[in-house]
């Protein structure tokens, strides 16, 4: 019945039963969702669109686009994530992942839904987004997931977070040299960053290759993810990050390591 329901709720309902299915699309890239995981994605989508009516959390407003462009895009990272988890062996239960500039939870919260054993810390500078993330974590009943309000430049200097994570992700936050300065300090030596980027990446990669060793890291490669315009940049931390990094908030983007800034904000 339509009475008393908002257009967003109606559209969300249609997406539940429409021809496009997150479960099928996800299975086709090798990520089979359990019933519980699928239900969590449905709740997440509804919550995101409901909050988006009031706060501008994401430019994606269509329910199917949320599944395609936000959920599925995050799920495409799962094979690389599983590979990184395997490298830590059977201690997979204690693997900590930080998602820098998480926004409405991408990819960090989506990855937590599908790999619930991860301990996930979502780092986000904007208060209203942190409020959403906290609400989503509660609503989805996710254990060992927290949202932290702050700038990665500050959090990366805090002993509670610096060099505490086996894995870091970040999507659409900054160009690669700046992004490395935000992410690498959070990693333990031997840990890995997985950074989804657009395909037009050559200049960023060149600068990234110069920036990485300054921070005690190495760019392993940039692999095209099947069925999307995304390349996943994989980074390994090879040694301790010098104490002077990350620099003060804003400096990593303004004076990027390894050369000149790349484009406006380096968005994907
Ligand atoms: N990763 C999400 C959001 C991308 S928008 C996605 O892919 O949809 C970039 C987000 O990063 C914004 O929410 C912004 O507030 C946050 N951000 C930018 N610089 C940051 C910093 N230095 N520390 C923490 N968060 C930052």
Tens digits of residue pLDDT in 219-246:
999 999 988 889 999 999 999 999 999 9
| Closest approach atom of ligand 1 to CA 170 | 1
The protein residue whose alpha carbon is closest to atom 23 in ligand 1 is: 151
Whether 101 maps to a domain, the answer reads yes
**Can you tell me whether residue 192 is helix, strand or coil?**
strand
Radius of gyration of the chain (CA): 18
Ligand 1 centroid – CA 259 distance (Å):
22
pLDDT band, very low/low/confident/very high, at 267 (cuts 50, 70, 90): very low
pLDDT for position 2: 41
The protein residue whose alpha carbon is closest to atom 3 in ligand 1 is: 103
21, 78: one domain: no
Whether 10 maps to a domain, the answer reads yes
Pocket-forming residues, ligand 1, beta carbon under 6 Å: 58, 101-103, 106, 123-126, 129, 151-153, 171-173, 182
pLDDT for 266 beyond 50: no
Whether 127 maps to a domain, the answer reads yes
Whether 67 maps to a domain, the answer reads no
**Can you tell me whether residue 47 is helix, strand or coil?**
helix
Ligand 1 centroid – CA 103 distance (Å):
5
Whether 217 maps to a domain, the answer reads yes
Nearest residue to 45 via CA among 61, 31, 29: 61
93, 193: one domain: yes
**Can you tell me whether residue 75 is helix, strand or coil?**
helix
The protein residue whose alpha carbon is closest to atom 26 in ligand 1 is: 101
25, 123: one domain: no
87, 189: one domain: yes
Ligand 1 centroid – CA 173 distance (Å):
5
Which spans in the chain are helix H? 7-17, 22-28, 35-54, 63-65, 73-75, 78-87, 108-114, 127-139, 152-155, 176-183, 202-215, 251-254
> For residue 219, how far is the Cα from the chain centroid?
18
pTM, two decimals, is 0.90
* Residue pLDDT, tens place only, 44-83: 999 999 999 888 898 998 999 999 999 999 999 999 999 9
pLDDT band, very low/low/confident/very high, at 20 (cuts 50, 70, 90): confident
Q: Mean pLDDT check: name the lowest of 22-31, 77-86, 97-106, 259-268.
A: 259-268
Distance from C-alpha of 127 to C-alpha of 150, rounded to nearest angstrom: 8
Domain that holds residue 229: 72-254
Distance from C-alpha of 73 to C-alpha of 170, rounded to nearest angstrom: 13
Question: CATH number of the domain that 161 lies in?
Answer: 3.40.50.150
Provide, rounded to the nearest whole percent, the portion of the chain with pLDDT above 70: 88
Q: Mean pLDDT over all residues of the chain?
A: 90
pLDDT for 111 beyond 90: yes
29, 79: one domain: no
Whether 57 maps to a domain, the answer reads no
180, 247: one domain: yes
* Residue pLDDT, tens place only, 134-175: 999 999 999 999 999 999 999 999 999 999 999 999 999 999
109, 197: one domain: yes
Strands 187-197 and 231-237: antiparallel
Whether 263 maps to a domain, the answer reads no
| Rounded to 5°, angle at Cα 55 from 51 and 58 | 80
| Closest approach atom of ligand 1 to CA 182 | 22
Please report, for residues 12, 26, 38, 161, 255, the alpha-carbon distance to residue 35 in angstroms, rounded to integers and kept in the order given: 18, 13, 5, 33, 47
Distance from C-alpha of 22 to C-alpha of 26, rounded to nearest angstrom: 6
21, 142: one domain: no
CB atoms inside a 10 Å sphere around CB 83: 12
Number of domains into which the chain is organized: 2
21, 85: one domain: no
Whether 54 maps to a domain, the answer reads no
Please report, for residues 22, 88, 187, the alpha-carbon distance to residue 161 in angstroms, rounded to integers and kept in the order given: 34, 19, 9
For residues 163 and 185, is the Cβ–Cβ distance under 8 A?
yes
Distance from C-alpha of 97 to C-alpha of 100, rounded to nearest angstrom: 10
180, 244: one domain: yes
pLDDT for position 19: 75
22, 131: one domain: no
178, 105: one domain: yes
Number of H helices, E strands in the chain: 12, 7
């Amino acid at each position: 019945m339509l009475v008393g329901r908002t257009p967003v709720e109606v559209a969300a309902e249609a997406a539940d039963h429409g021809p496009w299915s997150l479960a099928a699309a996800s299975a086709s890239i090798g990520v089979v969702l359990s019933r519980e995981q699928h239900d969590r994605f449905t709740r997440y989508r509804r919550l995101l669109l409901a909050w988006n009516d009031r706060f501008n959390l994401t430019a994606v407003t269509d329910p199917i686009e949320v599944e395609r462009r936000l959920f599925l895009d995050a799920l495409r990272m799962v094979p690389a994530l599983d590979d990184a988890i395997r490298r830590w062996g059977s201690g997979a239960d204690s693997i900590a992942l930080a998602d820098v500039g998480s926004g409405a939870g991408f990819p960090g919260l989506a990855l937590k839904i599908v790999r619930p054993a991860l301990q996930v810390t979502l780092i986000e500078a904007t208060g209203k987004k942190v409020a959403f993330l906290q609400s989503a974590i509660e609503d989805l009943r996710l254990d060992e997931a927290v949202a932290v309000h702050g700038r990665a430049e500050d959090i990366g200097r805090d002993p509670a977070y610096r060099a505490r994570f086996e894995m870091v992700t970040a999507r659409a936050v900054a160009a690669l040299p700046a992004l490395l300065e935000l992410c690498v300090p959070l990693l333990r030596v031997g840990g890995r960053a997985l950074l989804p980027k657009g395909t037009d990446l050559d200049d960023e990669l060149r600068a990234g290759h110069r920036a990485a060793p300054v921070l005690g890291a190495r760019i392993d490669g940039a692999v095209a993810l099947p069925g999307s315009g995304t390349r996943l940049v994989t980074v390994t931390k090879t040694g301790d990050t010098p104490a002077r990094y990350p620099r003060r908030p804003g400096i990593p983007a303004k004076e990027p390591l390894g050369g000149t800034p790349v484009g406006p904000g380096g968005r994907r």
